[in-house]
A and B are shown apart, each in its own frame.
Chain A
């Protein structure tokens, strides 16, 4: 979906805060891991006034990369490398469903940062990163894991901005994550192949597709999730100003795909390409 200016942000992000690993070379790391969940939609249409996309009645679910981030955090906790997993999401009441899904997958508690109405429509990576940074400091997290990007706006900015605001190292597009002492080893998927880096904690990591395969919540965990706490905060409580610096001018659907053409021989193909001025 194309847009004239930046993104049309509409999702909730959950941040996972990671807390204290391997202090003083201790083999067991303790930590709160925070991850960020975004609630994204499927099957979208542009509104008639081209201001944004239709969200009413559209089914929203957790952003796939965020699911992977949740799974990674839960796995770290199961390996006893971190102490606590906190799921964070920003948005209206409905994001609590997304947080509950994370709780059912194994997160310990949730934080719902309440953003509604117009504010929610203009909520973008910069505002979310500020919220994440504030929460990371407040919760004394050691690791923040996010999905690499959201499938509704494809921004791929929040993780990087959060790291910058916190002045923390970042390991983005992670396809492998391991803790080595008080450092994190991240294997990153880059255009040229795979890059392995070691970063200090506290750090921000963004999850790529091959990091893991998210689990289905088990029924007993769905029941247990009911008892886990979800705290409510407002951006103002965290001292974050969520006014947007961007104004979306227009949202358009991509142009309709034109029918193709079949040719008989390679010469025909070259001829047609020349006609179209492409060769």
Chain B
């Protein structure tokens, strides 16, 4: 009896969560138009410059401004605050198309939307939203998210950056590592502990403008991929901010970080999808054109099986990403689905980009074709915003809870 009731409950919550099931089969008109618009922009403005941006490690400032003008830099932000007022499904679609053109531009868009604006939108006061969100909707300013440290990435609860109150100011000290957008950002959300004894419950979130006295940047990391986005350490040495710069309640920092990353995962899943799709496009196009043994290589089963596997990996990850977005938009729990989406999409990206190089053969290994860039860009998607291992832990944790009697 108990089993039957819990099964019914599970089914009910599944159906409610799948309210947007028909949307998985065919997107609403507005979303189709949005997807097409972003695709056109990526094809015309990002694709032609992606190789140069990668080679020169140059930040796409003009394109970020153009995307800002389109509303892409603040998709979920309500119109009153300067955003596009759309939902997370729209965000996933936009992210995939942008990343398909240029993965670096994609990560800049994602960090601004999910990791910087995201927590302020959810946990900020009205004044904080006006001050810290509105100027960051136009593409003129971007933000970043400082959680990881040289001593802890996955182990986010062990933050060693400290914040102590001194009169009407917080004084921050410590070093943050691997911060995307750092060299191009005008503000950051920083996580620091006010009481190490409380472990993860002692961490709070703070808003710090950039540049700012006491805040300096480490050297730009020379990364394998997503080279056009800047990644560096943020060093805080007696960095002082007003008390009003705390984001959310004291001690809520860890919770804010985890919830923010839940949503950020959907953005990164979409970025990985874009990279994977670009790899498939490249491989399939080549399969039509390259001839060997008397016919286009697309006629060979070995190539066909690769392309089929790539397509299945992408489509499954895409549906997972859309489902996670739909659940989030319906204000349903989406932690497990977001982790599944990020895991599936990032593994799809590395698989597809690897196979794309294989299909292209020697041409896949040189910069003349984009396959090698996709290979390098894809790799990070399995690492940042929660490694694949962490995603598995999250999924297992949620899964086991469901089976608890």
Contacts and interface: CB of A to CB of B under 8 A. Distances in A.
Contact of A220 (B33, B40, B66, B85): B85
B40 A216 contact: yes
Given A223-B84, A226-B29, A104 B79 contact: no
B29 A100 contact: yes
A223 B70 contact: no
Contact of B36 (A101, A218, A226): A101
Interface residues of A, number: 14
B40 A222 contact: no
B192 interface: no
Interface in A101-121: 101, 104
Contacts of A270: none
Interface in B48-67: 66
B86 A216 contact: no
A108 B84 CA distance: 19
Contacts, number: 49
A268 interface: no
Interface core residue of A97, A219, A222, A226 (most chain B CB under 10 Å): A219
Contact of A222 (B30, B41, B69): B30
Contacts of B40: 216
A104 B30 CA distance: 9
B278 to A, nearest CB: 17
A218 B84 contact: yes
Contact of A104 (B33, B72, B94): B33
Interface residues on B, range: 20 to 34
Contact of A219 (B29, B36, B70): B70
A225 B85 CA distance: 14
A223 B37 CA distance: 13
Contact of B90 (A101, A216, A219, A225): A219
A216 B40 CA distance: 8
B71 interface: yes
Contacts of B70: 216-219
Contacts of B75: 219
A101 B79 contact: no
Nearest to B75: A219
Contact of A217 (B29, B37, B86, B94): B37
A218 B83 CA distance: 11
Contact of A101 (B33, B41, B71): B33
Contacts of A97: 29, 32-33
Q: Is the interface of A mostly helix, strand, loop or mixed?
A: helix
A222 B85 contact: no
B34 interface: yes
A217 B33 contact: yes
Contacts of B86: 219, 223
A210 to B, nearest CB: 17
A45 to B, nearest CB: 13
Given A101-B36, A104-B37, A220 B30 contact: no
Contacts of A104: 33, 37
B40 to A, nearest CB: 7
A61 B32 CA distance: 13
B33 A225 contact: yes
Interface in A211-238: 216-220, 222-223, 225-226
A75 to B, nearest CB: 15
Contacts of A222: 30, 33-34, 37
Contacts of A217: 33, 37, 70
A223 B41 contact: no
Interface in A37-73: 61
Contact of A216 (B30, B41, B79, B85): B41
Contacts of B33: 97, 100-101, 104, 217, 222, 225
Interface string A124-142: 0000000000000000000
Contacts of B29: 97, 100, 226
A219 B72 contact: yes
Contacts of A101: 33, 36-37
B34 A219 contact: yes
A225 B30 contact: yes
A203 to B, nearest CB: 31
Interface string B361-380: 00000000000000000000
Given A216-B37, A218-B69, A218-B84, A223 B32 contact: no
Given A101-B36, A216-B66, A222-B33, 4 more contacts: A97-B32, A216-B37, A219-B84, A222-B30
Interface of B: 29-30, 32-34, 36-37, 40-41, 66, 69-72, 75, 79, 84-86, 90, 94
20 contacts: A61-B36, A97-B29, A100-B29, A101-B36, A101-B37, A104-B37, A216-B41, A217-B33, A218-B69, A218-B70, A219-B90, A219-B94, A220-B79, A220-B84, A222-B30, A222-B33, A223-B30, A223-B85, A225-B30, A225-B33
Q: 3 closest Cβ contacts across the A-B interface?
A: A219-B71, A219-B84, A218-B70
